Every structure is written in C-alpha cells, then in structure tokens.
A and B are shown apart, each in its own frame.
Chain A
Amino acid sequence: MCGIAGIYHTNSKRPVEKSVLDKMASTLTHRGPDENGCYVNNNTGIAHTRLSIIDLSGGSQPIFNEDKNLCVVFNGEIFNYIELKDFLEKKGHKFRTHSDTEVIVHAYEEYGKDCFKHFNGQFAIALWNEREKELILARDRVGIRPVYYSSLPDGTFVFASEVKAILKYPGIVPEIDPAGLNQVFTLWVNIPPKTVFKGVHELAPGSFMSVSSKGISTNTFWKMQFPDANDYEDKPLSFYTGKLKEALYDATTIRLRADVPVAAYLSGGLDSSIITSLVKKYHNNDLITFSVAFSDGKFDERKFQNDMVKYINTDHRVIEATYDNIGSEFSNVVWYSEKPMIRTAPAPLYLLSGLVRDNGIKVVLTGEGADEFFGGYNIFKEDKIRRFWARIPGSKKRPGLLKTLYPYITREPKMERFWQSFFKKGLTDTGNKYYSHLIRWNNTSQIKQFFSSRYKERFSEDAVFQELDNYIDPDIDRWHPFCKAQYLEARLFLPGYLLSTQGDRMMMGNSIEGRFPFLDHNVIEFANTIPPEYKMYGLNEKYILKKAFNDILPDPVVYRPKQPYRAPINQCFMRDNLASSMINEEIIKKYGYFEFDNIRLLLNKFRNPDIKNISERDDMSIVGVVSTQLLHHHFIEDTFNEYHNFHK
C-alpha cells in the first residue's frame, strides 16, 4: 500500500518545484514508509511513498512503459497482475519488473482508458501520458483506496491520496466547507466529489478523470447494478451457494498474492470467520489472526473470537480497547481520517492495526463488504419490518417486530407509543427511493442543532438531497426494496465511512494494508444477482453466507445473533486527552462551529451520575462535536504543522 501525490500546471510551462512535491509526499509517509520516488518533467510532477508488498526489490515507483511515454504511480494492488502480464506479454509488451504496477502502463497501452475494467483490485492510480500531456486519475470500483484533487484558478491541478498532502500546496488555504459538514451531519458521509474542505474534491469510486490543458473530464468505468425487482432467475438456493463458494474462494486466494506474510482480522462475527477459515483450510496452516477486544463487556466479542480461534487453531493476538486508549487515540483517528464522524468505532481499529504493525505484519485480510452485499445490517431489517408494518399502518402488532432489532425499546413498556411514533415517521412513503435510510438521516440531522447560527443558517436539507439525487443511479427505482437499501449502503456508507474512516485510514495510519475478499467485483456482481430472500430469509441476515459456509464454521458463530460493531463513546471524552480538551468552553467559542450553551447541556447529561442510559443521538452528537473540533485543530489552526511533525 502506498501514498501518491502530484502537481500539473495545465495552462503554463511553469516547472513543478520538486521541493513542494516532496513536502506533499512527506505527509504520506505513513502510507508508504519503505521508499520514496518521484518524476518531475517540466510542468508535471508525480510522487510516491511505498509500502513494499509485491516485488520487494524491483517494484519501486514511478514505473514507465517501454518508450517512457507513460509513467505511473499507484496506491493499491492489481491482484490479477499475473494473468494480465501473461496476456500482455503474449501481445508483445516488454516487462522489466515482476510488480503489479508495471501491468498498469502496458494495460493502458493495450486498452487505453478501458484498462481499468480489466483490473481486479483496489487502487488509486495516477498515470502521466507524456505524448498527450494528459494526467489520468482512477479509483477502484467500490472506493477501497482514496484519491483527492484540487483544481486551482491558475490552471494548476493537485492530487493526493489524502487531503493533508493537498493542503501542503502553497496556493491552497485550508478551510472547512459548511456544505460538506451539512452532508456529513445528514448522511454520515460526503457525496463525492464534495469533502469537508473547501476546494478539495474526492474522485468517486469506479471512475477515472482525465486532466489536460483542454480541461477536466470524469467518466465511470464500473457501477453497481441489480436486476429489476421481478427479474431474478428462478434457481434453487443450492445453485447460489455453490457459485458463491467458488467466487469467494477465488477472491480470497487471489488476495493472498504477496511477497510478505498475509494475516487476518478475526472479529468473532460471521464474515471475518469465513475468510479466516478459507485461508486456514486451503492455504496457510500457520495463519496469524488479530482481534480487538473491549474492556466494556457491552461491546466485547472475545468469547466468539476465542471459539473461532479454538476451532481453526490460529496463532492469535488480541488488543484491548478501553475508554482511555480510545479517548487518547481519537485525535489520531481524526488526523488520519480527515473528516468528522459520529462514531468512535474507528479508534479500536487504529489500535488493532498498531498491534499488527508491532507484530511485523504488513497485510491483513478482513471481512468488510459482506454486510453490504449479503444483507447483514440492521437497517435492512428495519426497512423490511417497516414495509411489513406499512401494509397495515393501523396494526397494533406489526411494529412489535422492531423489538427484535432494538431490545432497548422493550425496557420501558410505557414508552411504546413514543418509539412507535419514531419509527412511524414516513411509514407509508414506501415508494421513496431513500425509504430505508430516511429515519437514520433525519435522526442524524438533529445533531446540527448544536452548531452555531452562522453554520446552521447555511445547512440546507434540500441541498443535500439534490446532490444525492444527482449522485444516485436513476435505475434504483426499478430495483427490489432490499437492493435499494443495499445500494445506498454500498454507494455511500461503504466508501464514505467504512472503507475510509474505519478502513484504509485506520490501517494506513500504522502502515498496514487491508484486503477484502468480499469486495472482489466478481463476488459483488454475483451477489447482486442473488434473490433478496436468500440474503435475508425472514429476518435471518446473510442467510446464504451461513448456508454456504456452515461446514467450515463452528455452530456458535453461524447461529449467534449478529452484534453490530460499536465502541464506547461519551466515557472516552470525559478524560484527560486532546480529544476531551476540544470540548471546553474556551476552545468551542474560539473555533466558532458550535454553540457552547447547547454543548453544555449535553455535557451535563454525561456528567450526571443519575442518568444511566445515554441516548444514541447524544453519543453521536458528542463524537460529531469532538471530531469537528479536532479537524479544525489539526488542519485549520497553525497547529497543523506541529501535529504533523509530531507524528512524523
């Protein structure tokens, strides 16, 4: 895994200053601590920081084609590089290395901009075409690897793996964009190309961008598709389980390609257990596994992790997340993730990747993606239950099914009417393409009440939905309701939070590469053809995964109720750490994002020992406040340099 950065003065012959490029790349050393490389040719410069994984001695970047007219820097992996290289060699291309990077330039020569469709992998690519004086940026299908860019009024185009590198370019003044905050505090994520930094944009997953003196254009090379609602093939479950086994076996096998050892995360849940079992059973008898455990029993899954370890017998290592270490690492979490968030769940994963690094491992397999493409999330059940209720909105009994999802609502029988009215909002609006997510988004939007009036008056819900309408595939209207919800999770939440804030950034913060067999596009494309009732049978989530892999998993893992991955929140911010210091009155008023009088009420709740049950929204609010404050602290205040230098 690596970091990439670059500068292109599209409208002038002004030479790129190598010292500026170096400064940008120096902010990305955590992504690639092993080597640096750069290419500067007059008004263009691209740089690379390398985490060596494939072809350790020969894979230094940038890499060129035969006549040096094409130059590439790349963050990620092209897992099918062996097959592609073989094919391209037969076509007459001459390779000088054994790396997957070199495949990119030759594939570009062969296929042009269609080459990205041929890559099975996770990638952010910057390709310089000297003959055409054109820069091409591309990002993998589901957004595993990030790439950001900024286009300046003088025609300069700057890009990098992380925003912090772009902010190092002298012409760019870091500024938080209220429109970006408005998106995050509605949808949990930004809608590409928008970010929370004014003038800094994100390339959307599955697309590529061409930059030259003629202008900038963006194209899609892959998009998620589902059959029309009534257009599923009438095949038995056994047909799908058979195919799924093959597809996931292939996806896992190809992700073991590396010249360094590959380990695995083991959460105790179904998805990582499947991947770990596949590796252990078919490939690596000496597999090392890593888990995060929690000192707070509410979040802990140690029992299931231990069941799995005993069952498959791996060399297992655990790190325990506590209120203290989550709170103290949270400032790093925001430094690496570069956006506000409403969960602390990334922090334990940052601790976990630190454990991996301390054990001398660079690559881990994880189970990410199964919940999106096989239907594991509670939001899919909530959607199904509300649609069931909406068929008889006056039913006294139907909303009772929500108790299976949220046991807390049964604790206080007197509150029944309240939670029913919460979930009843918009109940019969089942034709709305966002039906599954509107309750969540409405709830999240409430956090905006904590902002100061100068921000609040710029937060328009209509603007968010207009941007969303433009981003979402119009075909969504034709899909089964279950697939609509899946699509929203996979198109928004997966790249915008799960693979970035909780994935790439938390791993890369400790120079660890994650690989995700469930996100192989062959697995995704197949999964999307599976009838929804095989993904969720009644309210039995990921049913097809359980049926396909129950022969290699212990029963307690297959039949256990799914536990959403969460981490403690408010207890982590009532301590002596940088994150907690962000919510004191002086700093809140100094930064100006939030109204302290409102924050004070929130803090009073956390500090009141008589209040035992803090609501989810209160917890989300405090993370939102702390992370926004830290964002300002790290990137807007001049402590930016201080914080970065400290972390170097």
Chain B
Amino acid sequence: METVQEVITNFIKENFIMGRSEINLAPDQSLLESGIIDSTGVLELVMFIEEKYSVTIDDEELIPENLDGINNIVNFLKNKGIN
C-alpha cells in the first residue's frame, strides 16, 4: 500500500509537473515558490486529499505551513490521524 508521502508525490507529479523534466520535486520544497502550483492548485490538492482520506480541511487550515510542500502535507495529515 502506498504511503501518504507517495500518494501526495504522485498526485503532484501527475497533475502539476506533468512530465516537465526540468522540475525536481523534493519533499521539503515549496510548491508555490518553485511555481509548481498556484493558489487554485493548492485547492485542487486539498480536494484530492479530502476525497482520498475522507477528511475536511477548513479555510483556516489552508496555510503554507500545512500545505506548501510534501513534508508539510504529510505532517499536517499525521496531526489529523492519517499516516
């Protein structure tokens, strides 16, 4: 079974990087600063996470500390009890 980190990484690769070989995706990298996703991209990621893990994420939780980067997302989901 895929880990949370693998699921999120694959989703970002498939939906935002889409084969652009010049982009490296590191776990601690900022997705916004590196231009991989924009604000609507974050929402798309949230939608995917909610669907995949049956959680609801409030507007207040939509902050870079929680969602901008694979490590941040993995930790955020861990705090919600998802490993």
Contacts and interface: CB of A to CB of B under 8 A. Distances in A.
A398 interface: yes
B40 A401 contact: yes
Given A384-B47, A391-B50, A538-B48, A400 B39 contact: yes
A388 B47 contact: yes
A384 B46 CA distance: 13
Interface residues of A, number: 22
Nearest to B11: A538
Contacts of B11: 537-538
Interface string B47-71: 1101110001011001000000000
Interface stretch (B12-20, B22-30, B73-81): B12-20
A540 interface: yes
Nearest to B62: A397
B51 A392 contact: no
A538 B44 contact: yes
B31 interface: no
A538 B45 contact: yes
A400 B41 CA distance: 10
A555 B19 CA distance: 8
B43 interface: yes
Interface string A516-557: 000000000000000001000111100100000000000100
Nearest to A405: B40
Contacts of A559: 18-19
Interface string A98-122: 0000000000000000000000000
A401 B44 contact: yes
Interface in A157-194: none
Given A392-B56, A395-B59, A401 B15 contact: no
A396 interface: yes
Given A391-B50, A559-B19, A404 B62 contact: no
Contacts of B44: 401, 404, 538-539
Given A385-B47, A533-B51, A392 B15 contact: no
A403 interface: yes
Nearest to A394: B59
Contacts of A391: 50, 56
Contact of B47 (A396, A403, A539, A558): A539
Nearest to A559: B18
A538 B47 contact: yes
B51 A539 contact: no
B59 A404 contact: no
Interface in A318-368: none
B59 A540 contact: no
Nearest to A403: B40
B14 A543 contact: yes
A400 B40 contact: yes
Nearest to B42: A397
A533 B51 CA distance: 9
A398 B58 contact: no
A404 B37 CA distance: 12
Contacts of B43: 397-398, 400-401
B59 A396 contact: yes
Contacts of B58: 392, 395
Contacts of A538: 11, 14-15, 44-45, 47-48
Interface in A386-419: 388, 391-392, 395-398, 400-401, 403-404
A559 B11 CA distance: 15
A52 B50 CA distance: 55
B15 A388 contact: no
A395 to B, nearest CB: 5
A385, A400, A401, A404 interface centre (most CB from chain B within 10 Å): A401
A537 B14 contact: yes
Contact of B50 (A388, A400, A555, A558): A388
Contacts of B45: 538
A533 B50 CA distance: 13
Interface in A599-619: none
Nearest to B47: A388
Contacts of A558: 19
Nearest to A384: B47
Given A388-B47, A400-B39, A401-B47, A539 B59 contact: no
Counting from the closest, the 9 A-B pairs by CB-CB distance are A538-B48, A401-B43, A388-B47, A559-B18, A538-B15, A404-B40, A540-B15, A395-B59, A538-B44
13 contacts: A384-B47, A391-B50, A391-B56, A395-B59, A401-B43, A401-B44, A404-B40, A537-B14, A538-B11, A538-B48, A539-B15, A539-B44, A558-B19
Given A400-B40, A539-B44, 5 more contacts: A392-B58, A403-B40, A538-B11, A538-B44, A539-B47
